[in-house]
Chains A and B, each alone.
Chain A
Amino acid sequence: MTASLTLNKITAQKGISIAEAANRVADLGWTPSYVQEAMTFPTDYKISKTPRDPMKQVLRSYFPMQEEKDNRVYGALDAALRGDMFRNVEPRWVEWMKLFLAIIPFPEISAARSMAMVGRLAPGEELRTGFTMQMVDEFRHSTIQMNLKKWYMENYIDPAGFDITEAAFGKCYATTIGRQFAEGFLTGDAITAANVYLTVVAETAFTNTLFVAMPSEAARNGDYALPTVFLSVQSDESRHIGNGHSMLMAMINDPSNHQLLERDLKYAFWQNHAIVDAAIGTFIEYGTTNRDKNKESYAELWHRWIYEDYYRTYMLPLEKYGIKIHHDDVAAAWDRIVKKNYVHKTAQFFTVGWSVNFWRIEAQTERDFEWFEHKYPGWYAEFGDFWKWHAKLSVPGETNILFNSDVGYVYPHRCWSCMVPCLIREDFVCDEVDGKIYTYCSEGCRWTHKVAFAAEYEGRATPAMGRFSGRREWEDCYHGWDVADAIKDLGFVRPDGKTMIAQPHLRFDAKDMWTLDHVRGHTLGSPLRGFRALSPAEREVATTEYRKGFKINPCH
């Protein structure tokens, strides 16, 4: 055999180039002349330019590539079991996965549905393959995540919470933010939802913290399954980012779109920040047992992925097209994370509400305190006592921290926009929309509800824009209920009918576990109902008082 002879050379035959293949596939489309295409979801944007396909991939190569990725994922899951992963996994971490994995499959499949919306709106068929691949990708992500969750349920010490997962998703006060995230992908103005909110902001910016930063933390906690699934998921995101950018470029040269683009970039960034940073920040910072001071904190990760990677290299270049970028919001989001303790306050809120959760939250310990203080100077003074209270009150028979006035925690208002509570008390705002008073966590969220989600934007009619609806304040659903009855109604009770799924600790012993009887006798209430019942003058006083915040009492 000569040195230059290879199998490729023997088997190679003349073919068509990838670019040519993509062009021919794009030529499959035509403009119907007998019957107009079905009505689609409307948009207020004008899309006159055909979006280019940056990936030039065809389905013939896509499906085998994805199957190969799947093989690696499922092989890794088998390997993790053979390697006895669950013997070494940190339960503190896996417990938070009950919440995370309850949320994420619906946003994923919502993204698949939203491809119908952009697929029809994009002129020409160049990007159709990209949208098709994204549709099938999202179907992949949704069901591969349901599979991972099932796998945890089958192999982790405490399956309760995984076993009710999709029912819990529909009912829980924390998963509500995931529903806002998902519905934002596929409801209202089709471009706002499926292009700007989903691909340009959520996928381009925030999947990095979701699907890259979080898996790293999973691995540090002995969980090798989450990284293998989610890094595989993330490997699809680059194509989606390409779809989003290409669609954006097809609209950006039309100045009549700029006003809407500025609105949507601002709305999408702020809401992604409010939702994703609350949830993922908590999982990464409070779900871990790894307190290596050399690793990046969530704030540092945010700076790398959102500030440097997204804001500086993706958003800022849009200015050359004449788009005004909302620099102040980026700075404000950074301040909320670094100076205003947004993530820490979210974790604190989840913990206060542990009894109506469907996962366990154990107290942070001295070891954790040291790390937090190192990464976030001043943390201990504000949160140290709270976590000591949580440890102290984790024993059945103690008064539930949610109703225990010794602690000093003041239950927050719910933000009508992002649906995370108004945790940064000094930023709390309220406003009237269509004759009703609403509460918001921030000016950005007030603007989103009152200004962005309206029939008119800065004097321009926006007939396609969505509206906020539903019973957005979770607490209102159980106003006046005894908390034990609410937990039962939520279905957050173990098969014995009395032991709660949620527990304020990781002690896997029946004698340590809280039952409905341990929490009975306290009534849930809607902060918004009370707030609306006040006179304008009383509301102003209440607002000033709320903005002052609260101080956790010392725990001895």
Chain B
Amino acid sequence: MSAQTSRAAAAKPVAIAKSGAAGAAVFPGSDSRKYNYFEPKGRKATHYEDMTVDVQPDPERYLLQDWIISFPDGTPTYSKDWTAAKSSNWHKFRAVDQEWERTHYQRQSTICGMVQNTIENGRKSGAPTRFDPAWVKILQNHLGAYKHAEFGLGTSTMQAQRYGYTQMVNNAILTNSSYKLRFAQGITLYLSEVGLDLPGFDIAAGKKHWLEDPIWQGVRKSVESVMGSNDYLEQYFATNVVFEPLVGELFRSGFLMQAASAQNDFITPAVVSAAEADYERNLANTVELFHILGTDPTYAAQNVALFNRWLVKHADLALDAANHLQPIWSQPRVKVAAYADALAHAKNRIKGIGGELGLTVPVNIAS
């Protein structure tokens, strides 16, 4: 073969015998490269929507044969009756935080690393030994008690994530649960570890206070009321619309994060700050869901009335819980945060959330 013919052969396009790659052939449907069975919220579907929408089926959409196993009383695998709230379109909700597995693990893992580094480095520098002794007691008794509240809300939302009518609702509640349980464990391990550096630190004291100390009984009652609700959306509502601003944030931001540094404690605020960031996301998801339900074209009025009832019920409990916590603000040696200011902030917060949702904030909160 001459060089010329050899070059000609080389220049000839090589025929691809077979390829399974996109674009290897053109035929009907060969460019249909998007999930096409749901309406994206925006112009284009987000990755979260692609991962989430319609994975939990619905007889009113694509579930041709209906649910094929039922509970003995005839209740199907998923039922709209598991909440008193009504919706003309349960599929409308999209989680504002857009979490799917990858983003969830990335965020949780980052928090675990941040918290663990802070604790390790703090301990290495001997920081716990420089905590004010009165503050150590507060961490031992009160942060130790508070971790149970977080755990209770974590188990409550873990229960609630079974009941939602769509994948979007259930996954938002699932990640909420995951965040709460991580934080409850985070506090537990934090106290266990700094306790090693603090002679006489009683790791069991927190639970004792949670169960017996009058200061914590209002909080326990409030949390148990959330856990005791048979309506999964009431659990979700009570957690994020009521308990978190009135008790959770009040204690975390309104006390721990403000007071800690004045007691020589730079570790606790870092540990606790993770929960504040978690809450911002959980709150955004919650507000989005309840806003959709509260402005539903068919059920808005009855939903808002229902949410107002939930608000009154749980705000009474949470406000009572908050007021019982008041003595804690007097316990640090260096007083930098006032309970009245923290409570006013908490009330403002819940007023803001209630306003977003078109709810009537109860008088005891509004005042």
Question: A and B: real partners?
Answer: yes
Report B-chain residues with C-beta under 8 Å of the C-beta of A120.
Answer: 155, 159
The residue in chain A whose Cβ has the minimal distance to the Cβ of B203 is A24
Report B-chain residues with C-beta under 8 Å of the C-beta of A36.
Answer: 228
A13 at the binding interface (Cβ < 8 Å)? yes
A460 at the binding interface (Cβ < 8 Å)? no
Q: Specify which of B20, B67, B221 lies most central, judged by the most chain A CB atoms within 10 Å of its CB.
A: B20
Select one of B36, B69, B100, B189 contacting A469, CB under 8 A: B69
Indicate if the CB atoms of B112 and A146 lie closer than 8 Å. no
Report B-chain residues with C-beta under 8 Å of the C-beta of A113.
Answer: 161-162, 170
> Scoring A residues 337 to 356 as 1 if CB is less than 8 Å from chain B, else 0, what string do you get?
00000000000000000000
> Scoring A residues 112 to 152 as 1 if CB is less than 8 Å from chain B, else 0, what string do you get?
11111101100000001101100110011111101100100
Min CB distance A50 to B, Å, is 16
Min CB distance B340 to A, Å, is 27
Select one of A39, A115, A166 contacting B62, CB under 8 A: A166
Report A-chain residues with C-beta under 8 Å of the C-beta of B113.
Answer: 64
Report B-chain residues with C-beta under 8 Å of the C-beta of A510.
Answer: 26-28
> CA separation between A141 and B203, bound complex, in Å?
36
> Scoring B residues 146 to 187 as 1 if CB is less than 8 Å from chain A, else 0, what string do you get?
011001001110111110000100110011011001101110
Indicate if the CB atoms of B68 and A166 lie closer than 8 Å. no
Indicate if the CB atoms of A34 and B177 lie closer than 8 Å. no
The residue in chain A whose Cβ has the minimal distance to the Cβ of B229 is A38
Indicate if the CB atoms of B28 and A513 lie closer than 8 Å. yes
> CA separation between A170 and B37, bound complex, in Å?
11
A91 at the binding interface (Cβ < 8 Å)? yes
> CA separation between A442 and B28, bound complex, in Å?
42
Tell me the residues in window 68-112 of chain B with beta carbons closer than 8 Å to chain A beta carbons: 68-72, 74, 76-77, 100-102, 104-106, 108-109, 111-112
B45-53, B242-250, B295-303: which lies at the A interface?
A: B45-53
Indicate if the CB atoms of B32 and A160 lie closer than 8 Å. yes
Min CB distance A274 to B, Å, is 14
Indicate if the CB atoms of A158 and B161 lie closer than 8 Å. no
Indicate if the CB atoms of B193 and A157 lie closer than 8 Å. no
The residue in chain B whose Cβ has the minimal distance to the Cβ of A469 is B70
- Known contacts A29-B151, A116-B161; A146/B70 CB under 8 A: no
Indicate if the CB atoms of A180 and B68 lie closer than 8 Å. yes
The residue in chain A whose Cβ has the minimal distance to the Cβ of B102 is A70
The residue in chain B whose Cβ has the minimal distance to the Cβ of A81 is B21
Report A-chain residues with C-beta under 8 Å of the C-beta of B69.
Answer: 180, 183-184, 187-188, 466-470
Indicate if the CB atoms of A129 and B185 lie closer than 8 Å. yes
Give A residues with C-beta under 8 Å from B: 11, 13-16, 20-21, 24-25, 27-30, 32-41, 58-61, 63-64, 66-67, 70, 74, 84, 86-91, 94, 105-106, 109, 112-117, 119-120, 128-129, 131-132, 135-136, 139-144, 146-147, 150, 153-160, 163-171, 176, 179-180, 183-184, 186-188, 222, 419, 455, 463-472, 474, 477, 490-491, 494-496, 498-499, 501, 508-510, 513
Nearest 7 interchain pairs by C-beta: A170-B62, A494-B29, A35-B228, A160-B29, A116-B162, A167-B37, A67-B109
A sample of 16 more A-B contacts (CB under 8 A), given A120-B159, A157-B25, A470-B70, is A21-B192, A35-B224, A59-B186, A66-B105, A87-B21, A91-B20, A109-B170, A112-B174, A115-B158, A140-B101, A144-B101, A468-B69, A469-B67, A470-B66, A470-B69, A477-B64
